[in-house]
Structure 1
C-alpha cells in the first residue's frame, strides 16, 4: 500500500460537490483509486486546510488518529472522474467564521437594536461612555440604531438613534439600579417594525432575557455583552477584557470561539493633561493644593473595595484624597473618612470631570471586580499615573510587562503593597511625570471609532455566521428527510 498526503489551501478552491450528487460514491470497505496528473481538488472555501489521503489499494482504515491522539472523522467526496478524497477533521475542532473583505463587511448599513440596562443616558456606570460612543460611531458609519433601555432619563434624541424607554422598577437590594424586562407589546411591536439585522443586549440586569425572547421570536442573531452568567444563550458573547474571556472559557460558560473581546477605548481629546486646573486642585484638596493629592473617580459601591483606601490613607498622613462620583456607598464612606483629609465632590461631568482627572497627582483603583475599568483609561489619558489592583480587566490595561512604565499594580487587598507603590509617585515629581507621560502615550493608541468598527465589521459578522450555522444544523435532519423522500439537492444555508 502506498499513501500520498496532500494539503491544499481552501481559499484557492472552488465550492464543494454536493454529497447528493449522482457521481458521489462511497464504499467503507473497498475503494479503488488511480492517481492522475492535473488533479482538481474541490473543498469548502470556508473550511480549515484538509488532509487528502490517496490510496492505490482496495482497503483503508476507517479511522485515523491525529498526532494528538484524538479520533478523527472520515468524510469522502468523489473528485474529478475517479479519485476519492477523505477530509480529516478533528471531532473537537471549533469552526470560526471566515475573514471577510472590507468590501463585504461595509457593503450596506445595518439595523441594530441595542438593549441596555440600566440606561446609558442617566445611570452612572462604567459602560455609560462605552455605549454612548458606540451609538455615536454606529450612526456615523451609516447604521440605523434602536436603543431599548430603562425609561428614566431617556433623551428626546441621541445622534439620530431611535430611543425607547421601558417602564422599570428598582432592584430590591440596590434601589438606585432600575430594572426592566422590556417585553411589553409596545416594545415587541416597535422592535418588529424596526426589522433589526442583529440584536445586541448588555447585562447585568434582566433585560437580556427580554432581548433573548424577542430575538428568538423574530429569528434574529443575538449578541450579548457579558456581565452575568447568561451568554450561553447568545450567538456571540462580547467581553471587555482578555482576563474575563479566559474565566468564561475555563468555566465553559459558552464555546471558546464564541467569546470575543470588545476592544477598550477612551476619548483622548476630552481626557487630556491640558485640562489641569489650579482652581480644580484647590477644590479637590480643600484649599491645600501643595499636599500630595490622590484621586479616585467612579461609582461609589460597596463592591469597589473602597474601604481599603481608608487604611491606605492612615499610612499616608501627608496626602489628601478626592472621591469624584456618587453611589449607594457614599454615605458610609463619608462617615468612614470623617475628620480625614478627604473630599467628596459628587457627580462631575464634562470639562469639570476632565479637570478633576488632570489636576490630581495619582489615580488609585482598589476594585477587584472591574471587568475593564474605563476610569483607569481616562486617568491615564489625562496624564495621571495609576496604582490599581492586579485583578480583573485592570491587568489588561496595565499588563505585567508595562508595570513601572505606564502604571503600577498591587496585590488585591494588600494595603502595604498599595502604599509602597503610591509613596514614590506622591513624593517624586519626576517619576510621576515620566509615568504619566508614558500612560498618555499608551492610551493614544485607543479610540472609540476603532473599537466600534471592530464590533460592527468583525464581531457582528461572526455572530451572524454562528447564527446561520446553528440554524442550518437545526434544519439538517429535516433536509435529510426531505431529500430522502423527494430526492432533492442539498440546500446550503450559509
Structure 2
C-alpha cells in the first residue's frame, strides 16, 4: 500500500499529532508499505522511518507552524500516486490534500485530533465556534472516512452533521512507559530532587498552552505534603507561573524518550486539568507507567479513566472537585498503588502495533469505498460530430 501522510504538525514540533504520525510511519515501514509525508515548514528532517518528508510554506501562530495551501501539494501527490491519503488533524493543508485526492479519485482518511471549535468556545467567541464547526464539516465532508479518537469526539462530529465516522484511538509505548522505571536511577534522582522529604509528587505532562488550563492547578494551593512537577513548554508559561507563584512547583521543561519516561515514573499521581482533549495521550502514558489519573469529565478522558478504578473524573467547571480527588489520592498510598496497577492493565491491549493495525484496516475500508464510488459514476460517452450530423 502507498500512503501519503499529510500532517498539520510534524517534527521538530512535539505534540500528540506528531507522535501518532511518527508511530504510524514506523508501523508502515515495518509492514512493508510505502509512504511519504507532507507537512508545514518547521525544520523537519529530510526522512523519517526511511520515508521522505516534504515541507510546504507555513506561517507561525502561537509558536505553532500552520501549513498553507500550495500547488506543491498536488504535484507531490501526483508524483507519489498514493492508494490513500492520510490527513492528520486536517486544517488548511489537510483540506487541500483531501480535495486533491478527491479530484484524482484517491481514497482519503481524515483523522480528527484537534478540537478547533473548542478553542473558539473557550475564548467566548460564539460566532467563531459556529464558524469553526462549519470549517470542520467542510474539511471532513470531502474525506471517504473520518476517524475520531473518542466517543465524545464522535458525538460532537455527529452533532455537526459529519458522516462516515469511525472510532480510532491512540496507541501507547508499553515498554518505554512502564512501572519498573520507578526503581531506575534516573527516576530516583528526580525524586530526590523534587521530593527529598517524601512528599507526594503530583505531575503533569504536555504543552503549556491556554487550552491545557494549567492555571487550574492553583486549586491545590495549601494542600499539605505535595510537590507539583510540570513537564513541557509553551506560550502559557508566564501565565502559569503567575497563577502558581508561591506553590511548591518544579518545571522540568520539555523531555523526550527515557527522560520523559523517568519523569512519569517519578510521579505519584497524574493530573490533567484541560477540558478540550479529543483523546488524552498523556493519560495513557501515565496509566502505562502505573500512575492513577485525575482528569475532567469531558472529551477523551471519559473513555480512559474508570472512576474509582484507575483514577477520578472531576466536574469541568468545579475546581473544588479537582482538589478533592487529588487530596484523596495524596492521603492514601495504597489506593494510589491499586489504581496505578489498574491503569497499567487497562492499556495492555493498546500497543501502537495493535492500534496501527486497526488504522491499516481503516485505510482498506476507505479504498474500497472510493472504488465503489468510482464504479457507481455514470459513464459519459462522447458523440462525434459526424454522427451528430
Match of 1:181 in 2: 68
Counterparts of 2:345 and 2:237, CA distance in 1: 33
Query: How many Å apart are 1:336 and its aligned residue?
Result: 1.9
Query: How many Å apart are 1:189 and its aligned residue?
Result: 2.5
Whether the aligned pair in 2 keeps the contact of 1:315 and 1:419 (CA below 8 Å) is: no
Query: How many Å apart are 1:208 and its aligned residue?
Result: 1.2
Tell whether 2:141 aligns with 1:232: yes
State the secondary structure of the residue aligned to 1:123: coil
Match of 2:4 in 1: 113
Match of 1:271 in 2: 177
- Deviations 1:447-478, CA, capped at 9 Å, x for gaps: 1111111111x2112212222333344x2374
Counterparts of 1:248 and 1:315, CA distance in 2: 41
Tell whether 2:170 aligns with 1:260: no
Counterparts of 2:42 and 2:155, CA distance in 1: 35
The structure 2 residue matched to 1:423, chosen from 311, 315, 327, is: 327
Q: 1:40-79 maps to which residues of 2 (within 5 A)?
A: none
Q: Which has the higher helix share?
A: 2
Match of 2:159 in 1: 250
Q: 1:25-424 maps to which residues of 2 (within 5 A)?
A: 110-119=1-10, 121-171=11-61, 174=62, 176-185=63-72, 187-226=73-112, 227=114, 228=116, 229=136, 230-253=139-162, 255=163, 258-276=164-182, 277-283=187-193, 285=194, 288-311=196-219, 313-398=220-305, 402-424=306-328
Counterparts of 1:378 and 1:251, CA distance in 2: 30
Counterparts of 2:67 and 2:159, CA distance in 1: 31
Q: Gapped runs of 5+ residues in structure 2?
A: 117-135, 384-389
Match of 1:476 in 2: 378
Counterparts of 2:91 and 2:237, CA distance in 1: 22
- Deviations 1:305-341, CA, capped at 9 Å, x for gaps: 2121112x22514322111001111121112222211
Root mean square deviation, CA, Å: 2.0
Query: How many Å apart are 1:127 and its aligned residue?
Result: 2.2
Whether the aligned pair in 1 keeps the contact of 2:102 and 2:142 (CA below 8 Å) is: no
Counterparts of 2:201 and 2:79, CA distance in 1: 53
Query: How many Å apart are 1:410 and its aligned residue?
Result: 1.0
Aligned length: 357
Q: Which TM-score applies when normalising by structure 1?
A: 0.69
Whether the aligned pair in 1 keeps the contact of 2:295 and 2:301 (CA below 8 Å) is: yes
Ranked by relative contact order (alpha carbons within 8 Å, sequence separation 6 or more), the top structure is 2
Whether the aligned pair in 2 keeps the contact of 1:334 and 1:344 (CA below 8 Å) is: no
Counterparts of 2:53 and 2:179, CA distance in 1: 35
Match of 1:438 in 2: 342
Instruction: Give the greater-gyration-radius structure (CA).
Output: 1
Counterparts of 2:216 and 2:32, CA distance in 1: 46
Whether the aligned pair in 2 keeps the contact of 1:388 and 1:410 (CA below 8 Å) is: yes
Whether the aligned pair in 2 keeps the contact of 1:224 and 1:236 (CA below 8 Å) is: yes
Counterparts of 2:197 and 2:283, CA distance in 1: 23
Q: Gapped runs of 5+ residues in structure 1?
A: 1-109, 483-494
Query: How many Å apart are 1:153 and its aligned residue?
Result: 2.9
Counterparts of 2:241 and 2:90, CA distance in 1: 28
Counterparts of 2:207 and 2:106, CA distance in 1: 34
Counterparts of 1:134 and 1:448, CA distance in 2: 8
State the secondary structure of the residue aligned to 1:137: helix
Segments of 4+ moved more than 4 angstroms: none
Query: How many Å apart are 1:212 and its aligned residue?
Result: 2.2
Match of 1:454 in 2: 358
Counterparts of 1:395 and 1:141, CA distance in 2: 32
Counterparts of 1:351 and 1:369, CA distance in 2: 28
Cα 1:124–1:413, aligned 2, differ >3 Å: closer, same or farther?
farther
Counterparts of 1:340 and 1:315, CA distance in 2: 8
Counterparts of 1:426 and 1:289, CA distance in 2: 14
Counterparts of 2:188 and 2:197, CA distance in 1: 8
Counterparts of 1:411 and 1:384, CA distance in 2: 21
Counterparts of 2:347 and 2:210, CA distance in 1: 28
Query: How many Å apart are 1:182 and its aligned residue?
Result: 4.6
